[in-house]
Amino acid sequence: MKLEDIIETVENAILLDGLDDAIIGVTEEFGNGPRILYDRDKILEILQTRDGMTYEDAFEFYDYNILGLFASEQNPIFLSYKID
């Protein structure tokens, strides 16, 4: 599925500006609309390369400004660890 298709299927979901490359899918939850799933490691990588942050600064920014964000019931969800 293309990013454009994902965005169209999640009408009211919260999208994070400038982090489209970190989107890895859409989640569903009973009683709640679809939510965008982001890869935390990819977000950290983008913050480091695009914004010139160190890993520590990127993680602190992510933790406070992105993970700590509450915009609606359809806040994004973040994948922190992958099982191999």
**32-74 pLDDT tens trace:** 788 899 999 999 999 999 999 999 999 999 999 999 988 887 8
Helices (H), the chain: 3-9, 40-51, 55-61
**CA dihedral (68, 83, 30, 4) positive or negative:** positive
Residue 1's pLDDT band (boundaries 50, 70, 90)?
low
Domain boundaries defined on the chain: 3-79
Enter the pTM of the model.
Answer: 0.87
Write the CB contacts of 24 (distance below 8 Å, at least 6 apart in sequence).
37, 38, 39, 42, 79
Is residue 72 within 8 A of residue 12, CB to CB? The reply is yes
